[in-house]
Chains A and B, each alone.
Chain A
Amino acid sequence: EKSRRTFGQKLTALFTNFNGVDDDFYDDLEETLIGADVGFETAVQISDEVREEIEAKHESDQQVISNLIVAKLVSLYTRNGTTEDNHLVFATEGPSVFLFVGVNGVGKTTSIGKLANRFKKRGKKVLLAACDTFRAGAIEQLQEWGKRDGVPVVAGPEKSDPAAIVFDAVKKAKAENYDLVLVDTAGRLQNKVNLMKELDKMRRVITREIPHAPQEILLVLDATTGQNAMSQAKIFKETTDVTGIILTKLDGTAKGGIVLAIRNQLHLSVKYVGLGEQVDDLSPFSPKDFVDGLFSGFLETSK
């Protein structure tokens, strides 16, 4: 029974028993943002900018103030880069390859299961590549998704070289005219240098077979993660040329606010969000919905 009200409506409700914008208001705003994991510095920056603007305009109208805050956040998300958008890039001809990377347990395999279904429904011929040969049960997990989605899975024996499997998958995709190959990889923490090199090797194998592939390297981030997500984004971007983010587990109470800072500092945008464990629990990212989500607890703390 999550509130369906927009942020603007929530703020309006807040202002009803509110005598104007005072220091408490900005403290609440700052804490709400910190509580949503946007990070201390970003929170202070946003709160300061909002204060400046409200004070400069001598603004006291609730509706104007709430619009101003939303606009500020959405613009914070979208500024520093107008060329970046949240569309996935496909090859103009031949198979497209999307590589999924990220730390352990964030939702890579599940997101592949969801996206395969989405693209299959749109008429694409989809192939999955089970390149997590390391974690117990990882191959079976992807195969189970393949079965649910009705798409084939290229897999090899456990502990085999993931680069060899991705090679097989890409060859098969070319030979059998697949539109899209979704490549699952083992979870790896960004500070494990050897495992990060392995990703780069996989990427090179793909590019050797299909010059403009992989079209997307999607970093999967768990919305529950705090400030460490910045380190993940930074290091994965440096080592594998990440093209976008999938932000999972937004159906929980975590807000994933760190993607604001990631967007600003690294120019990586969120392309899809995960909203549950089922096949349809995936949506294209909307900055406005995301900003609304950041504030879903604001009312309670301000009362």
Chain B
Amino acid sequence: MAFESLTDRLQNAFNKLRKKGKISETDLRSAMREIRLALLEADVNFTVVKNFVKTVRDKAIGADVLKGLNPTQQIVKIVNDELVKIMGDQAVELNKSPKIPTIIMMVGLQGAGKTTTAGKLALKLKNEQKARPLMIAGDVYRPAAIDQLVQVGQQIDVPVFEMGTDVDPVEIVRHGLKKATEEKNDYVIIDTAGRLQIDQKLMDELSRIKELANPNEILLVVDAMTGQNAVNTAEGFNNQLDVTGVVLTKLDGDTRGGAALSIRAVTGKPIKFIGQGEKMTDLDVFHPDRMASRILGMGDMLTLIEKT
């Protein structure tokens, strides 16, 4: 990976200082600077970083870390614990409707991975719960978006409801839901077109679909490589739609995925799944602790802490 891990950074900061003898307030400040840098390089939003570093500093001072034997490990542990706390201590399950069908709506920016994730989720439900999902093709804008969903449906043997591209997506959803009731599908997954959160016309379309379908789950699909702008996207979609969860895609790359922290911090909404590949089986439940290690760039950090 391109960037130093937080442990390395802190170790370097403290090593230099150890030569001077005692670790001081100034040294703590330089440690905080390294934390800030590590988080920014991982693409955590800078305002989120600011608040985060302040919390860590207060905790570090409160815990008197500099008087301890191993300040690096102690600070890393505080950072890790805080990250996990912000991202949610444990995995959050998919919402389920008391009576069928459970309705799930996929929303997000262009190219984030909504259509692919719709298929992955349908397959997961099918495999794990013997579910009989129906997918609705609600993207009438992107060229061949419907072909894509239909082909995904064929790959995983899940039916797709579509009405072509000349119909209002709200109408497509209305008819699709009727079909699902007739066929007694237990899950309905609605694919929608990618859109910018500042595109008011298309955001209103999502509101109308929401109003009609009353979904149990509105999943905001976000590309894990997203930079500082993740907060604008997350706030935009969340303010308009009150999303219920987040899916982070493309984590099979070498990104640190700091967007996870930004999104969680600004919306408070749980990350429910992560996408780790292009295959239909590449969808996993989200684990906050693993994500924290990834953002900090240290897969083996927990073992490191355990050793001290």
- Interface, chain A (partner B; CB < 8 A): 31, 34-37, 39-40, 103-107, 113, 134-138, 140-141, 143-145, 148, 189-192, 222, 224-231, 234, 249, 251-255, 258, 277
Chain B stretch 121-153: residues in CB contact (< 8 A) with chain A: 141-145, 147-152
Chain A residues closer than 8 Å to B253, beta-carbon distance: 103, 189-191, 228
Chain B stretch 174-202: residues in CB contact (< 8 A) with chain A: 196-198
B214-246 to A contact mask, C-beta < 8 Å, 1/0: 000000000101111100110000000000000
How many residues belonging to B are interface residues under a CB distance threshold of 8 Å?
Answer: 47
Chain B residues closer than 8 Å to A113, beta-carbon distance: 143
Given A144-B143, A230-B2, are A37 and B227 also a contact pair (CB < 8 Å)? yes
Q: Is B163 an interface residue (CB 8 A)?
A: no
Stretch of B35-43, B52-60, B81-89, B298-306 lying at the A interface: B35-43
* CB-contact partner of B148 in A107, A136, A255, under 8 A: A136
Our count of residue pairs bridging A and B at CB distance below 8 angstroms stands at 142
Are B147 and A277 closer than 8 Å at their CB atoms?
no
* CB-contact partner of B225 in A134, A141, A225, under 8 A: A225
- A-B contacts, 13 listed (Cβ < 8 Å): A37-B228, A39-B40, A39-B41, A105-B110, A105-B112, A135-B278, A189-B250, A189-B252, A224-B109, A225-B225, A225-B227, A253-B233, A255-B229
Chain B at the A interface: mostly helix, strand, loop or mixed? loop
Q: What CA separation (Å) do A52 and B150 show in the bound complex?
A: 59
Q: What CA separation (Å) do A231 and B254 show in the bound complex?
A: 8
Q: What CA separation (Å) do A148 and B232 show in the bound complex?
A: 33
Q: What CA separation (Å) do A190 and B253 show in the bound complex?
A: 7
Are A277 and B142 closer than 8 Å at their CB atoms?
yes
Q: What CA separation (Å) do A254 and B234 show in the bound complex?
A: 13
Minimum CB–CB distance for A106 against chain B, Å = 6
Are B144 and A144 closer than 8 Å at their CB atoms?
yes
* CB-contact partner of A34 in B46, B141, B151, B198, under 8 A: B46
Are B227 and A107 closer than 8 Å at their CB atoms?
no
Are A34 and B37 closer than 8 Å at their CB atoms?
no
Are B226 and A226 closer than 8 Å at their CB atoms?
yes
* CB-contact partner of A35 in B2, B228, B233, under 8 A: B228
Minimum CB–CB distance for A118 against chain B, Å = 17
Are A140 and B144 closer than 8 Å at their CB atoms?
yes
Residue of A nearest to B252 (CB): A189
